[in-house]
Chains A and B, each alone.
Chain A
Amino acid sequence: GMAANKAAKEQKYDRQLRLWGDHGQEALENAHVCLVNATATGTEILKNLVLPGIGAFTIVDGHKVSGEDVGNNFFLSTNSIGKNRAQAATELLQELNSDVSGNFVEEVRAAGSTCLRLGAVLWNAEVPFLVCRTYGLVGCMRLVVREHTVVESHPDNALEDLRLDQPFTELKNHIDSYDLDSMEKKDHSHTPWIIIVAKFLEKWYSEHNFQMPKNYKEKEAFRELLRQGILKNENGAPEDEENFDEAIKNVNTALNATKISSTVEDIFSCDLCDNITAQTPAFWVMARAVRDFVRDDGNGILPVRGTIPDMIADSEKFIKLQNVYREKALQDASVVSKHVESLLQSVGKVCPPGYLLIMKFFKCVFIISGKNAAFLRVVRCRSLEEEYSIESVNKDEITSCMDNPDSEMVLYLMLRSIDRFYQQHSHYPGVYDYQVEEDISRLKVCVNSLLQEYGLSVSVKDDYIHEFCRCGSAEPHTVAAFLGGCAAQEAIKIITQQFVPFNNTFIYNAMTQTSATFQL
């Protein structure tokens, strides 16, 4: 039944649940991706999405499987030669995971400008678009998403949200319930360090005009104050109190001022936050609700996150302290939910048709206001049109990178020139042995015309032109496999709304094993 199925999935996906959690997994299982063209790079990407359990995929491809395909694509076999490529790849990819629904569309061969046209359509439909390409020893990815909202950005060094500089009433009361001076030794050395810092901060305030220790010197002095608070034995030597050691170690964290980060402020000042309509996406309704909380209820700060780190303390004291934070977080979250409700009401979305959607919506509200308000991120990519248009090309990024003539940027310029070459000559440079020399000079013309057209005063070394002609347009499997791994990872970031995707172009050079990201 359902429960058994759930347990089986839990077992199968155990290793990845440890990375993105069950809500990340749920997002993945509800996602449907479309792959246009089942090239080696394409099927490698899908393989890496099918294995972790993407909900469904659809391959669109009008090509027939060729011998060359079979040579570099693991998901096409000799006996599929001549068959439709979308169908053949779907059959083999489907075998990897029976939880995934595989579909295909046999579509006529796409013309050269398809990518730009598709880009425009998806941009308007607000569907994220990832363009991936393996050309010889170069890999390239371009993310095209008008706006991607990240709920859990998983910053590496996220600070704790302890509010010691502005304790809320319940925390203040809890701190007041402790009296370090009249404590037995055992209790003293099992008091959570958060309480210790809070207590000594009160002492510090009284001596320092109610100012927090700010600079290094003051923080050192504060640490000294903590050190003096350690109990002494009968000989006057300090006892071994690990909780005080922890307090001293955590001074920096503890004294960090509670404030709203500039990233979150930027989100609050977005137009989308101001003008909530019936069409506003859930993320922005929630962002606005959090902003309302900040302005109306939170005295200018975010809802409490509600989690505290592990620390030396006896269970009872720790759990009590934990509950103080947790309960405040729940309380704040319910205030945020009320704002969401009234925002929805104000645009007449009291009882929308999708009941389930609303349930999800509220679950999301809880996640955001309780834990992640500080970790919200918005990624906005430029459109392909902006990148390709002479008026809006990002000249600065290109020219500044090309100060180093061997920057990966040169590979980007080469790929653009190659496309130009293909448009003019209907083949890729160097594919026919007998006209390599001719192609070299033709490609040179393409490079120069590209640079000229865009008004880019940079130079591309001849070496690169020669190399691209000698390489041909092959799609070596191992480069495709590399790119397939990277691209699937980005797709998972987008689908799970966890981690920040790159913005917006990634170039990999397999000769030097280097990579770079550019904003184009």
Chain B
Amino acid sequence: MVQLVGPLRKELADSVSSCRVLVVGAGGIGCELLKNLVLTGFRNIEVIDLDTIDVSNLNRQFLFQKKHVGKSKAQVAKESVVQFCPKANITAYHDSIMNPDYSVEFFRNFALVMNALDNRAARNHVNRMCLAADIPLIESGTAGYLGQVTIIKKGLTECYECQPKPTQKTFPGCTIRNTPSEPIHCIVWAKYLFNQLFGEEDADQEVSPDTADPEAAWDPSEAAARATASEQDGDIKRVSTKDWARSTGYDPVKLFNKVHYTNSLFKDDIMYLLTMDKLWRKRKAPLPLEWSELQKQEEMLGGGLKDQHVLGVYGYSQLFSESVKTLSSQLAERGAGAELVWDKDDPPAMDFVTAAANLRMHVFSMNMKSRFDIKSMAGNIIPAIATTNAVIAGLIVLEALKVLSGDLDQCCTIFLNKQPNPKKKLLVPCALDPPNLNCYVCASKPEVTVRLNVSSTMIQTLQDKILKERFGMVAPDVQIEDGKGTILISSEEGETEGNNSKFLSDFGIRNGSRLQADDFLQDYTLLVNVLHSDELGKDMEFEVVGDAPDKAPTPSTQEEGKNITNGNKDSAQPSTSSTVPTDQDDVLIVDSDEEPSSSSDCGALKRKLLDAETGEAPAKRQRLSQQQHADNEDDDDLIALD
């Protein structure tokens, strides 16, 4: 390693200047990384990013300027770097790395791949592509002041998917529709409502009361009667939310409380919920709001930024009304059939969610939140600054040099702390772990067992929710290992669409059946063992056996920890979740003055500390477990390696 320094050891210097490397992502880490690579002597660099530049990137993504807002990140990053270092030969792709054009063959062009990504789906995918191509991969991520870097090499180290990661927290439909108990439930509801009113309507994103809530538990005959009644309504009254809203001309007052039992948000829907009296025996019942009764109150304004104020109910009803007007005129301008896409950085869209979520919080007796806080939760915002990205990108290149000089044994996973821990370490390097032999991705014959109900699980669910979403496949082909090789799903268009709405049992799949799922692009085959069960948990469609991720990790009490939420912009699932309050029961507080270590306790995570000074046993790491499930919408995500 020593010889790396300037002049680099001859052979290493040669391989640095001649090798071809791929940078996946041109965001916070990506910008820093491109700069470090060219100034370390890398000459052949390809960079891919599907994103465009946003104003909120400018506080750290230094290759971009105000005039670049809206342009391709990859392209502008390339141009900026080449302007400074004309010798660099950079190829930019404004595209998704999950596009089938980037095949295993494409990945084989590179000596090394470096991820600077922001979401788990893409990380999973690049992990598989690098395993399939047998190319070393450097993974990295940051969140606020924290960061980490690690190396993945087929057969030698854990892959990105070797350790189960806490699955994204999703919320049962009836919690969102009937019984919200946390602000996040109201925020998810408000985002659904946005889509229902202005965006792409999605049957999984209903916002009106759910009459089939099992907890409401009417006696069966009554339930049946209600169901029938609501079906009958369907023909006459139950037009889609969007159609209805359009028919009212997006009149905010009507949206707010006009008598139309399926669609009035803060009054009639709530009154309807109140009739489901079983729900409210143990809960505080919601209080319907009446538009005309809202009075303008003096809003208390403190110092600080406007976004950080919490308005009153009247204030939010006004904001609701204004944002509905703005959004509906935007929708109208775009002509028939147009849809709006919710974006946290689009002011009226953010105003709408702030107002609707707060009004619902008020109805359900929760304390309302500021626009600033709601934006964090609704947009899965992870705070980000230049300094952490600079540190992490510096570490990545040093690890890259070790990989290129063949010193993989000297590589490590490095964690960056917020401040030096009690052992005075800002950086904590840990030995790389060997592959998990039971990993469903990098094992020699990957296999999983999935518990589901064969007679109520559709092929569509198998494809979308199980194989794509849960197991990260992009375009699966599935055949049944029934001796005949029955094809269940084909990735070729038009071949098996007819199967989509059939159930697994329609194809003779039962307890003990085995399915072979192939992803041609990822060069990945997964054997799925089916375990039939009639009794799955509420709102659970399937369960992976032996892979129940650890209980929700304890979040930190530190400020930035609070805002870190789950979510994934590529996912169809609600991309929001809340953190669980710290259970202080097991925390023994010695003295409030002790600056507690960030690597203090609580981890179910084992890591070998390469700490020559202490020679200490596994350091349990709290801070990463706090945030390892954080896939954010930003560019510099902390990765979930543990």
Q: Are B592 and A155 in contact (CB under 8 A)?
A: yes
Q: Are B612 and A406 in contact (CB under 8 A)?
A: yes
Contact of B1 among A249, A251, A486, A511 (CB under 8 A): A511
Closest to A239 in B: B282
CB contact between B394 and one of A21, A262, A470, A478 (< 8 Å): that residue:
A478
Overall SS of chain B's interface: loop
Chain A residues whose C-beta falls within 8 Å of the C-beta of B345 in the assembled complex: 11
Residues of B within 8 A of A11 (CB): 55-56, 345
- Inter-chain CA distance A242–B383, complex, in Å, is 32
A125-154: CB near B (< 8 Å → 1, else 0) gives 000000000001100000000000000011
Q: Are B429 and A513 neighbours in the complex by a CB distance under 8 Å?
A: yes
Task: Tell me whether A74 is interfacial, beta carbon within 8 Å.
Answer: yes
Q: Does B356 contact A (CB under 8 A)?
A: no
B584 touches A253 (CB 8 A): yes
Which residue of B36, B59, B307, B412 is within 8 Å of A16 (Cβ)? B59
Q: List 9 A-B contacts (CB under 8 A).
A: A15-B382, A17-B372, A23-B304, A158-B592, A472-B7, A481-B390, A500-B419, A510-B398, A516-B420
List of A residues within 8 angstroms of B145 by Cβ: 19, 489
Distance to closest chain B CB from A43 (angstroms): 11
- Size band of the B side of the interface? 35 or more
Can you name the residue of chain A whose Cβ is closest to the Cβ of B597? A156
Please report the C-alpha to C-alpha distance between residue A239 and residue B281 in the assembled complex, in whole angstroms.
11
Partner of B5, one of A252, A319, A472, A499: A472
Mark interface residues in B169-198 (1 if CB within 8 Å of A CB, else 0). Answer: 000000000000000000000000000000
Is the CB of B393 closer than 8 A to any CB of chain A? yes
Q: Which interface residue of B144, B393, B420, B563 has the most chain A CB atoms within 10 A? A: B420
User: What mask results when residues 52 to 76 of chain B are scored 1 for a CB within 8 Å of chain A, else 0?
Assistant: 0001101110100110000000000
Tell me, yes or no, whether B249 is within 8 Å of chain A by CB.
no
Q: Does A488 contact B (CB under 8 A)?
A: yes
Q: Please determine whether A158 and B557 come into contact, CB atoms closer than 8 angstroms.
A: yes
Given contacts A12-B58, A15-B383, A484-B390, 9 further A-B contacts (CB under 8 A): A15-B382, A22-B305, A250-B584, A471-B5, A476-B4, A478-B36, A479-B394, A482-B394, A513-B395
By a CB distance below 8 angstroms, the chain A residues around B3 are: 470
List B contacts of A472 (CB < 8 A): 5-7
B534 contacts A by Cβ under 8 Å? no
User: Do residues A315 and B365 form an inter-chain contact, with CB atoms below 8 A?
Assistant: yes
Q: Given the complex, which residues of A lie within 8 Å of B308, measured CB to CB?
A: 22
B13 to chain A, nearest CB (A): 12
Contact A481 B36, CB 8 Å, known A159-B592, A486-B426: yes
Taking a contact as CB atoms under 8 Å apart, the answer to whether A95 and B595 are in contact is no
Q: Within 8 Å CB of A477, what residues of B?
A: 35-36, 39-40
CB-based contact A488/B386 at 8 Å: yes
Q: Is B483 an interface residue (CB 8 A)?
A: no
Q: Does B391 contact A (CB under 8 A)?
A: yes
**B202 to nearest A CB, angstroms?**
28
A383 close to chain B: CB less than 8 A: no
The B524-547 residues at the A interface (CB cut-off 8 A) are none
Query: Do A18 and B383 contact each other (CB < 8 Å), given the known contacts A137-B1, A252-B584, A263-B593?
Result: yes
Interface contact A136-B5, CB-CB below 8 Å: yes
Residues of B within 8 A of A315 (CB): 362, 365-367
Q: Is B45 an interface residue (CB 8 A)?
A: no
A45-53, A102-110, A268-276, A282-290 - interface stretch: A45-53
Q: List, in ascending order, chain B residues with CB within 8 A of A190's CB.
A: 284, 365
In the complex, the answer to whether A485 meets B634 with C-beta atoms within 8 Å is no
Residues of B469-498 whose CB lies within 8 A of A: none
Residues of B within 8 A of A154 (CB): 558-559
Q: Is A84 an interface residue (CB 8 A)?
A: no
Whether, in the assembled complex, B587 has its beta carbon less than 8 Å from a beta carbon of chain A, the answer is yes
Distance in angstroms from B287 CB to nearest chain A CB is 9
**B620 CB → nearest A CB, Å:** 15
Q: Does A390 contact B (CB under 8 A)?
A: no
Report B610-638 residues with CB < 8 Å from chain A CB: 610-613, 634
B366-A486 in contact (CB<8A):
no
B598 touches A156 (CB 8 A): yes
By a CB distance below 8 angstroms, the chain B residues around A251 are: 585
Q: Determine which of A78, A474, A486, A506 lies in contact with B6 in the assembled complex, contact meaning CB atoms within 8 Å.
A: A474
Q: How far is the CA of A72 from the CA of B394 in the complex (A)?
A: 13
**Residue B98 at the A interface, CB < 8 A?**
no
> Quick check: is B225 within 8 A (CB to CB) of the other chain?
no
A512 CB-CB contact with B under 8 Å:
yes
Give chain A interface residues in 14-66, CB to chain B under 8 Å: 14-19, 21-23, 40, 44, 47-48, 51-53
In the assembled complex, the CB of A402 is this many whole angstroms from the nearest CB of chain B, namely 11
What's the least CB distance linking B33 to chain A, in Å? 9
| One of A8, A261, A309, A492 near B387 (C-beta < 8 A) | A492
Contacts of A21 in B (CB 8 A): 304
